[in-house]
């Protein structure tokens, strides 16, 4: 990406091993993230450009001399942050704060929307999946890179369980994933706020019990009507813009939790007596440490218990990636799968 | 209080029963709260004035016909919010959001800095203490009205336990109470940020292992030095001003919790990627539902296990209340006990 709206497909030097802990991975499938649309809207024009993509499944082609758990030919899922999986933060399940880790497409690391990629700290980062690269499960497995586990993180941080009512704000792929995650954690009442019927229909399939199409004050009022005036115990905010934050404050029940996984496009927000403090509202969330969750959720994807891959509704090859961004931005596509 | 700095002692009509669920309580001891200093600084001049005080212990003088658990002569502790103790929110331990409850000194209810007071929903609100009105335990029992349990709420909401390191911001009576509460919950490392040596000395007695007198960036740097660069798992913010919030963000460890009990004197604050979101920081806290905690902590005060009443360092009679405000505001006194 060279700036807002400017996505190009280019030949770059081949990825290759640099550290003994690296693996070289051929990308089998990647995708475009809702968060990729933030720079697609606002990135200043740049001559250097930035590689893109932080979700991928691939096949190990080559491993550094210190890599011990992976072999050539392994099909692997890559979390959206790479990490050693051994430091104090990783052991606490906060791989996004790994002492030695980092993120794709920054600091000389490539992006996943590519043919191949160098994976640092490969033993810690990659998780093997026991399927072939032609498996029909690949789209659902790919959601373990980010989108489904980001929804899961929202629900886990909010402490969703059978006793909690839930509002999910946003009918994008993360919002729908959050619905599925909340349902999986036992929530019996899940209100999905979104106004794209094709998306909220998938939300209902994933477990939403109510859909609220209204936004702003009208949306808040509607959720309050649906909950006897109280709002819901948990609110999973899957958008990242200020109106979504304000809706979250409006619909959360006293003593409840707002859990954010949409990357905030604001720095300051209301947190004082009238918004959070007076009603003992907890604000939580952040980048999902998906590496902490993959092994737990993988079996349920493999046995077909959950099908989070249903969020993909378009597939492109590498040449089609710029149009994939356009289609997601225009809301023609919910989430675009990339098959290099 | 008739405005900033304007506290008067006046004869008012005697408190009397109004509802069958009321009790009439003669105040034995009350106190001045750090939060009373906020209007003492900023209250617009008013002809009507406002009664003051929300912490008191008293003796039941008379009960309404529907009051069943209290009798004339009972010594009772009043939480800083009155509540039915039976509604859904109270059953969840969030008495400050009681469907039928409210706060002292508003809406026609009197304040505790008085000779007597009408207590609404007396069965739900008041907790009997098995001591006489001359008991030496009264100051410590009085902290169960607010200050100690506000510190306790900060620690509980932050999920302080033996594995968590703790920073307490503020060496006022709430901050020192938060130190004591964190120690009681098992915390082994408690860093107290405060610069009044007489107060931080009491903080050390209550369990602080380190005292950081520096403020702002220097204070943040010092706490980070003390924690290997990481900050602490939990931060108990017991002040309420923006610099304290900013310090909290500066010293909290990735994945950690900022728990606020100082009433925020701001509405907006940084919560975006660079402050809370990027490091998965949780922001929690609010007015302490002290009624939910009194019965648990009462035995430990009665048997002398904890002595939270040590925060009182001055006693006044009703006539001395205006000077009590002045002394607390001037930081001559940490917390002022009132004996009407």
Strands A56-63 and A75-78, sheet pairing: antiparallel
Q: Tell me the per-residue pLDDT of A180-215, one tens digit each, with 9 for 90 and over.
A: 999 999 999 999 999 999 999 999 999 999 999 999
Q: Which of A286, A287, A288, A290 to mutate to test the interface with B (most CBs of B within 10 A)?
A: A286
In the predicted model, is pLDDT for residue B108 greater than 90?
no
- Is residue B9 over pLDDT 90? yes
In this prediction, residue A208 carries a pLDDT of 98
Task: Report the 10 Å Cβ neighbour count for A195.
Answer: 13
**According to CATH, where is 3.40.50.720 located in chain B?**
150-285
Please say if the pLDDT value at position B56 is more than 90. Answer: yes
Flag if B263 and A273 touch (Cβ within 8 Å). Answer: yes
Instruction: Return the CATH number of B23-146+289-338, one of 3.50.50.60, 3.40.50.620, 3.90.180.10, 3.10.450.50.
Output: 3.90.180.10
Half-sphere exposure of residue B181, counting CA atoms within 13 Å on the CB side?
A: 31
pLDDT for res B3: 97
Per-residue model confidence (pLDDT) at position B234:
98
Work out whether strand B189-193 and strand A81-82 pair parallel, antiparallel, or are unpaired.
Answer: unpaired
DSSP code at position A3? B
**Given an 8 Å threshold on Cβ–Cβ distance, is B283 in contact with A275?**
no
The confidence score (pLDDT) of residue A107 equals 86
Please report which confidence band the pLDDT of residue A174 belongs to, taking 50, 70 and 90 as the band edges: very high
Q: Which of A135, A172, A125, A197 is nearest to A333 (CA)?
A: A172
pLDDT over 70, % of chain A: 100
Task: With residue A260 as reference, give the H or E element that holds it.
Answer: strand A252-260
pLDDT digits (tens, 9 = 90+) for B238-293: 999 999 999 999 999 999 999 999 999 999 999 999 999 999 999 999 999 999 99
Per-residue model confidence as pLDDT tens digits over B125-136: 999 999 999 999
Cβ neighbourhood burial of B49 (10 Å; 0-12, 13-18, 19+): middle
DSSP conformation class of A6: B
User: Measured between beta carbons, which residues in chain B are less than 8 angstroms from residue A149?
Assistant: none
Residue in A closest to B96 by C-alpha: A279
- What residue ranges of chain A are covered by domains with CATH 3.90.180.10? 23-146+289-338
User: Are B270 and A275 a contacting pair at CB < 8 A?
Assistant: no
Residues B167-211 have pLDDT tens digits of: 999 999 999 999 999 999 999 999 999 999 999 999 999 999 999
**pLDDT of A277 above 90:** yes
Q: Using the structure block, give the residue that is written with the tokens 């700290």.
A: A121
Looking at residue B103, its pLDDT comes to 95
Phi/psi region, residue A208 (left: phi>0; alpha: psi -120 to 50; beta: rest), is beta
Q: How far apart are CA A58 and CA A115, in angstroms?
A: 9
CA dihedral A153, A155, A159, A163 (to 10 degrees): -160
CA distance A218 to A311: 27
What is the length of chain A? Answer: 340
**Tell me, what's the ipTM?**
0.96
- Reduced to 3 states, what is the DSSP secondary structure of residue A95? helix
How close does chain A come to B227, measured CA to CA in Å?
Answer: 14
The answer for B186, left when phi > 0, alpha when psi is -120 to 50, beta otherwise, is left
Task: Return mean pLDDT, chain A.
Answer: 97
Of A254, A248, A245, nearest to A223 (Cα)?
A: A248
CB contact under 8 A, B280 and A254: no
| The pTM of the whole model exceeds 0.90 | yes
For the cut 90, the answer to whether the pLDDT of residue A108 exceeds it is no
pLDDT tens by residue, A301-316? 999 999 999 999 999 9
- pLDDT tens for each residue of B197-209: 999 999 999 999 9
- Give the model confidence (pLDDT) of A2-50 as tens digits: 999 999 999 999 999 999 999 999 999 999 999 999 899 999 999 989 9
For the record, the structure tokens of B302 come out as 């009665």
Is A298 within 8 Å of chain B by CB? Answer: no
Sign of CA dihedral A59, A61, A66, A71: positive
Q: What pLDDT is recorded for position B107?
A: 86
Residues with Cβ within 8 Å of residue A129, at least 6 apart in sequence: A57, A75, A76, A77, A141, A298, A302
Question: Strands B102-103 and B81-82: what pairing?
Answer: antiparallel
- B267, B270, B280: residue with CB nearest A287: B280
* Mutation for B interface: A90, A106, A264, most B CBs within 10 A: A264
Residue of B nearest to A93 (CA): B255
Tell me the mean pLDDT in the region A271-277: 98
In contact, A77 and A144? CB cutoff 8 Å: yes
Q: Which CATH superfamily is domain B150-285 in?
A: NAD(P)-binding Rossmann-like Domain (3.40.50.720)
Chain B residue numbers with beta carbons less than 8 Å from the beta carbon of A92 are 255
Which residues lie below 8 Å from residue B246, measured CB to CB, with a gap of 6+? B216, B270
User: Cβ contact (<8 Å) for A277 and B264?
Assistant: yes
Six-digit token string for B36: 């009373």
Secondary structure, 3-state, chain B? CCECCECCCCCCCCCCCCCCCCEEEEEEEEECCHHHHHHHHHCCCCCCCCCCCCCEEEEEEEECCCCCCCCCCCEEEECCEECCCCCHHHHCCCHHHCCCCEECCCCCCCCCCCCEEEECCHHHHCEECCCCCCCCCHHHHHHHHCHHHHHHHHHHHCCCCCCCEEEEECCCHHHHHHHHHHHHCCCCEEEEECCCHHHHHHHHHHCCCEEECCCHHHHHHHHHHHCCCCCEEEEEECCCCHHHHHHHHHHEEEEEEEEECCCCCCCEEECCCCCCHHHCCEEEECCCCCHHHHHHHHHHHHCCCCCHHHHCCEEECHHHHHHHHHHHHCCCCCCEEECC
Please name the member of A267, A268, A284 whose beta carbon is closest to the beta carbon of B282: A284
Confirm or reject contact between A140 and chain B (CB < 8 A). no
Query: Sign of the C-alpha dihedral, residues B263, B267, B270, B272?
Result: positive
How much of chain B, in percent, has pLDDT values that exceed 70? Answer: 100
What backbone phi and psi angles, to 5 degrees, belong to B219? -65, -45
Q: For residue B138, how many C-alpha atoms fall within 13 Å in the half-sphere facing its CB?
A: 21
DSSP state of A41: H
Chain A residues touching residue B275 (CB < 8 angstroms): 267
Chain A, residues 67-126, CB within 8 A of chain B, namely: 89, 92, 94, 96-97
pLDDT-derived band of residue A250, with 50, 70 and 90 as boundaries? very high
| CA B298 to chain centroid | 16
């Amino acid at each position: 990406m060279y700036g807002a709206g400017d996505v190009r497909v280019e030949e770059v030097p081949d990825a290759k091993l640099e550290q003994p802990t690296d693996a070289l991975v051929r990308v089998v499938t990647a995708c475009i993230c809702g968060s990729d649309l933030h720079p697609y809207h606002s990135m200043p024009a740049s001559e250097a450009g930035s590689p893109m993509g932080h979700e991928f499944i691939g096949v190990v082609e080559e491993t550094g001399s210190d890599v011990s758990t992976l072999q050539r030919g392994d099909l692997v899922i890559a979390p959206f942050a790479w990490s050693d999986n051994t430091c104090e933060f990783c052991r606490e399940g906060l791989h996004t704060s790994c002492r030695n880790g980092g993120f794709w497409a920054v600091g000389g690391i490539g992006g996943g929307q590519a043919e191949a990629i160098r994976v640092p700290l490969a033993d810690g980062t990659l998780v093997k999946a026991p399927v072939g690269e032609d498996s029909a499960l690949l789209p659902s497995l790919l959601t373990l890179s980010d989108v489904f586990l980001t929804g899961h993180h929202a629900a886990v941080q909010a402490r969703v369980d059978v006793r909690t009512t839930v509002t999910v704000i946003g009918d994008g792929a993360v919002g729908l994933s959050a619905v599925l995650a909340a349902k999986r954690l036992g929530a019996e009442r899940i209100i999905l706020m979104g106004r794209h019927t094709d998306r909220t229909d998938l939300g209902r399939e994933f477990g939403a019990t109510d859909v609220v199409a209204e936004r702003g004050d009208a949306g808040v009022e509607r959720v309050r009507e649906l909950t006897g005036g109280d709002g819901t115990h948990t609110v999973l905010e899957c958008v990242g813009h200020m109106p979504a934050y304000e809706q979250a404050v409006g619909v959360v029940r006293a003593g409840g939790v707002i859990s954010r996984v949409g990357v905030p496009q604001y720095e300051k927000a209301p947190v004082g007596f009238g918004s959070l403090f007076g009603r003992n509202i907890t604000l939580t969330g952040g980048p999902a440490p998906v590496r902490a969750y993959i092994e737990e959720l993988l079996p349920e994807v493999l046995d077909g218990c959950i099908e989070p891959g249903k969020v993909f509704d378009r597939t492109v090859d590498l040449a089609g990636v710029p149009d994939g961004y356009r289609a997601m931005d225009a809301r023609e596509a919910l989430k675009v799968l990339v098959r290099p």
